[in-house]
Amino acid sequence: MKSKGIWFILIASFAFALMNFTVKYLGDMHPMQIIFFRAFGTSIFISPFMVYNKISFIGSNPKLLLLRSLVGVTSLATFFMAIQRIPLASAISIRYLGPIFGAILAMIFLKEKVKFGQWISFIIAFSGVLVLKGFDIRIDFVSLILCLISAFFIGFVFVLIRYLATKEHHLTIINYFMLFSITVSLLFLPYWRMPISGEWIAVGLIGVFGLVGQVLMTKAFAIEETSVLAPFKYMELVFAFFLALIFFGESYTLISLIGMLLIISGMLINVAIKSREKITTNVLGGK
């Protein structure tokens, strides 16, 4: 089962890397227009499945589902804006800070504890951001803020999903987000432009890549422990790095790579601490 879960997470990570690469390719298209195609492409696949299996579209917590959708759209929009402004791998690296904000928000709203070792891991990860920003002149202040806003709201999404996961079907949560994204993106219709030539294929693939990534990642975490999968989840950065290097000619200095490594190391340390805590709790609970 472990090998199957790892394969799922690797394919999902590659799919997300391809989705973000495609967003970069559509660099002069309005981010909300890209979000429309991403959401529409996913929704047309899962909506019929939900109807066939009689899965609720409304859910039992509509206010929280709408809040999850709002913060999700905010995170995605700011992330897409950042991708269009700075190197792809840098944007993805900084967004990896999301679990830090999620842990802090969970501490505030869900009364979850943050251990001392986790705070150390957070400091390591944030130091990576400082290294990236300080030594890569391509990352301007506005782009950094966009990435941090995206990370904050994806952390908020983690907390909301953690709460909703035991109360709603996962497809209800996903489809709420997709339908909300479609509705909000249409408000920016005057800023859209007509895709040309190969862009039609690109906007179609965004939804496909997003759906494949979402489904396989869900499957992976359903059959395998987070501690096993987390290192492979960060392969998204490696895939994105090489895609951007080959097709966009993006390159990085050694210092920038060290910054990315610090971010990933901090996040992996956080996962390891949480996993060890879970194991300890299970052992004690079994006595």
Dump pLDDT digits (tens) for 56-65.
999 999 999 9
In 224-234, which residue ranges form alpha helices assigned H by DSSP?
226-233
Percentage of residues of the chain with pLDDT beyond 90: 77
Q: Note the pLDDT tens digit of each residue in 217-273.
A: 888 877 887 777 888 889 999 999 999 999 999 999 999 999 999 999 999 999 888
Position 154 pLDDT exceeds 50:
yes
Q: Quote the CA–CA distance of 282 and 260 in Å, as a whole number.
A: 33
Confidence of residue 287 (pLDDT cuts 50, 70, 90): very low
The pLDDT of residue 251: 93
Confidence of residue 278 (pLDDT cuts 50, 70, 90): low
Section 25-37 average pLDDT:
96
The pLDDT of residue 222: 74
Section 88-98 average pLDDT:
96
Q: What is the DSSP letter of 55?
A: -
Position 24 pLDDT exceeds 90:
yes
| Collapsed DSSP state (helix, strand, coil) of residue 253 | coil
Position 286 pLDDT exceeds 90:
no
For residue 102 the two structure tokens come to 């999620």
- Write down the mean pLDDT value for the chain: 91
Confidence of residue 177 (pLDDT cuts 50, 70, 90): very high
Question: CB of 91 within 8 A of CB of 79?
Answer: yes
**Which of 84-88, 150-154, 272-276 has the lowest average pLDDT?**
272-276
Q: Quote the CA–CA distance of 44 and 106 in Å, as a whole number.
A: 33
Q: Quote the CA–CA distance of 134 and 255 in Å, as a whole number.
A: 10
What pTM, to 2 d.p., does this model score?
Answer: 0.91
Position 283 pLDDT exceeds 60:
no
Question: 55-91 burial, b for 16+ CB within 10 Å, e for fewer?
Answer: beeebebeebbeebbbbbbbbbbbbbbbbbbbbbbbb
Position 146 pLDDT exceeds 50:
yes
The pLDDT of residue 221: 78
